[in-house]
């Protein structure tokens, strides 16, 4: 999609945002629209509500309204007018408009005879071209490229997107890029490095498990580095604790965390961000078969703790446990974030609107919360009190991979991961609900959202400000 500025756009569809006021013919109430046709030109007035209640996300939605109307009218382009607000800088509005149009025009078309045709140009209009326009737009385009890449990987069949495919994809993306080093460990190297949990989860897989490491050095003079770990279960059948009925249907998306990590590192490189990041994609297939790991197995993790497997469907925390402790030891990062479609119970708590967050560091979780509001990829923290940690103690090993009580599943998952990060400041994001939609919502179509990429870039920009202080 092209995004341009024009003082007087000549497009056939013009979208005009209107703030709420009782005196006007169109009252501008939030969510209301009014369309006027003047010859060949359509003008769409979109109510934005009162400025004091206005959230930047309304501008993502505004661009999307134009996009859909433009699609219905079979237009190649449409325009949206800027409004002057006290509350938000013009650049933030431009960014939100661009994001709404870009995210909204994504579709997973690989297997469709006929692709949906959206307008291919958004014209933003106003009195004068804002100073930062070109750089804001170019940044939004780059970010969206990686968001779309993540969405494509998550939406595609697990038949194709398996651990070795993700390894090949990562190596290809960074093949000519000196700032990013890509390495990977297969099954025998996982075992050699004592990542028994990781190797075990993937041992019935057709494609061997892979730990894919992406080292991005954007600020060589700094010792700070942030470790980003993603759950990359390319298909989760549940293992021998097989998932029942339809609950297996969308489990090709259980690698969303890994896709998001790949997309973040790709964007960091594309934007030349002055920060050091380590991405770790923990990829495996959780399948059944004679080699499958079994309920009741007791296995030693990388950090020496013994784990009783109480349910083979709680596999994500097992691959993440080894990845977290291995990477903490190998890289000694200053901060750790993990992204995982970890628990069904997170969807029960938050639906698909908000990701669950567990952390051991209030400053970090606060910063993630704020980043979430800005990106409109929202997160909400759940408590990690010691009682929850008691619930994952085993009678016959150090830990069990599910809670004894079966309650508070999302917290139990976080409590388990906490045992593997040592004392590093850490945030765990359970993206089970937000990563993949079963029906379209707002400017997202059905399927993968890429949730976590824009969130993390907001978070990283805050981190860079802190590190420069
Ligand atoms: N991948 C699933 C979680 C999930 C469910 C993600 C639905 C997206 C949509 C995860 O591996 C899982 O199966 N978790 C179990 C844990 C339980 C056995 C303790 C769950 O949530 O039921
Ligand atoms: Zn599972
Ligand atoms: Zn899973």
439-464 core/surface letters (b: 16 or more CB in 10 A; e: else):
eeeebbbebbbbbbbbbbbbbbeebb
Rama region for 338: left / alpha / beta (φ>0; ψ in -120 to 50; rest): beta
DSSP 60: H
Q: Give the ligand whose atoms come closest to the C-alpha of residue 356.
A: 1
- 409 CA to centre of ligand 1 in angstroms: 9
Nearest ligand (C-alpha, residue 239): 2
**312-341 per-position pLDDT tens digit:** 999 999 999 999 999 999 999 999 999 999
Question: 463, 226 in Cβ contact below 8 A?
Answer: yes
In this structure, the number of other CB atoms found within 10 A of the CB of residue 207 comes to 20
At a CB cut-off of 8 Å and minimum separation 6, what does 388 contact? 403, 408, 411, 412, 414, 415
Q: How far, in Å, from the CA of 458 to the mean position of ligand 3?
A: 27
The mean pLDDT of 424-430, rounded to a whole number, is 98
pLDDT at 25 over 90: no
What pLDDT score was predicted for residue 169? 98
**DSSP-derived 3-state class of residue 323:** helix
pLDDT (tens digit per residue) in 389-406: 999 999 999 999 999 999
For residues 396-422, one letter each, b for 16 or more C-beta atoms within 10 angstroms of the residue's C-beta and e for the rest, the string is ebbbbbbbeeeebbbbbbbbbbbbbbe
Rounded mean pLDDT of the chain? 97
Query: Most distant CA pair in the chain: distance in Å?
Result: 78
- Spell out the residues 6+ positions from residue 198 whose beta carbon is closer than 8 angstroms to its own: 190, 209, 211, 282, 284, 302, 318, 319, 322, 323
Give the number of whichever ligand sits closest to the CA of residue 409. Answer: 1
Using a CB cutoff of 5 Å, list residues around ligand 2, an ion: 236, 313, 315
Residues 67-92 have pLDDT tens digits of 999 999 999 999 999 999 999 999 99
In a 3-state reduction of DSSP, which class is residue 52? helix
Q: Is residue 12 over pLDDT 80?
A: yes
The yes-or-no verdict on residue 382 having pLDDT over 80 is yes
Bridge partners (DSSP) of residue 386 are none
pTM greater than 0.95 (yes/no): yes
> Pocket around ligand 1: residues whose beta carbon is below 6 Å from it?
236, 254, 311, 313-316, 341-345, 347, 402, 409, 432
Residues identified as active-site: 243, 317
| pLDDT over 90 (residue 24) | no
Name the residues around ion ligand 3, CB cutoff 5 A. Answer: 233, 236, 254, 316
When pLDDT is averaged across residues 58-66 and rounded to a whole number, the result is 98
Ligand 3 centroid, distance to 243 Cα (angstroms): 10
């Amino acid at each position: 999609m092209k995004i341009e500025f024009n003082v007087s756009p000549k497009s056939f569809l013009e979208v005009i945002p209107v703030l709420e006021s009782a005196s006007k013919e169109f009252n501008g109430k939030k969510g209301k629209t009014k369309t006027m046709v003047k010859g060949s030109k359509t003008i769409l007035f979109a109510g934005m509500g009162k400025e004091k209640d206005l959230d930047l996300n309304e501008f993502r939605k505004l661009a999307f309204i134009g996009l859909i109307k433009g699609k219905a009218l079979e237009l190649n382009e449409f325009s949206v007018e800027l409004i002057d607000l006290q509350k938000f800088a013009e650049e933030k509005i431009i960014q939100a408009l661009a994001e709404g149009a870009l995210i909204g025009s994504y579709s997973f078309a690989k297997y469709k005879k006929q692709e949906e045709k959206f307008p291919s140009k958004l014209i933003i209009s106003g009195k004068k071209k804002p100073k930062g326009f070109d750089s804001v737009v170019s940044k939004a385009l780059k970010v969206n490229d990686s968001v779309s890449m993540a969405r494509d990987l998550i939406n595609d069949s697990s038949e194709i997107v398996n651990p070795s495919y993700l390894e090949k994809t990562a190596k290809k993306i960074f093949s000519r890029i000196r700032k990013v080093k890509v390495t990977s460990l297969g099954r025998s190297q996982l075992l050699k490095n004592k990542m028994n949990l990781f190797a075990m989860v993937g041992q019935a897989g057709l494609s061997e498990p892979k730990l894919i490491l992406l080292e991005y050095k954007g600020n060589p003079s700094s010792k700070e580095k942030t470790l980003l770990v993603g759950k990359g279960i390319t298909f989760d059948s549940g293992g021998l604790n097989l998932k029942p009925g339809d609950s297996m249907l969308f489990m090709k998306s259980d690698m969303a965390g890994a896709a998001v990590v790949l997309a973040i590192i790709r964007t960091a490189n594309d934007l030349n961000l002055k920060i050091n990041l380590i991405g770790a994609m923990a990829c495996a297939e959780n399948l059944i078969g004679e080699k499958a790991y079994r309920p009741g197995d007791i296995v030693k993790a990388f950090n020496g703790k013994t784990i009783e497997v109480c349910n083979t469907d709680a596999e994500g925390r097992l691959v993440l446990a080894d990845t977290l402790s291995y990477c903490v030891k190998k890289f000694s990062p200053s901060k750790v974030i993990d992204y995982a479609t970890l628990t069904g119970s997170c969807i029960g708590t938050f639906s698909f609107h908000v990701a669950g967050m567990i952390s051991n560091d209030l400053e970090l979780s606060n910063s993630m919360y704020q980043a979430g509001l800005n990106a409109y990829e929202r997160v909400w923290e759940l408590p990690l009190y010691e009682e929850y940690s008691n619930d994952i103690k085993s009678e016959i090993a150090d830990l069990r991979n599910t809670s004894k009580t079966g309650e508070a599943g999302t917290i139990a998952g976080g409590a388990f991961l906490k045992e593997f990060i040592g004392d590093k400041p850490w945030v765990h994001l359970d993206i089970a609900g937000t990563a993949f939609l079963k029906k379209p919502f707002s400017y997202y179509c059905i399927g993968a959202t890429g949730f976590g990429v824009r969130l993390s870039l907001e978070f990283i920009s805050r981190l860079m400000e802190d590190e420069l202080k």
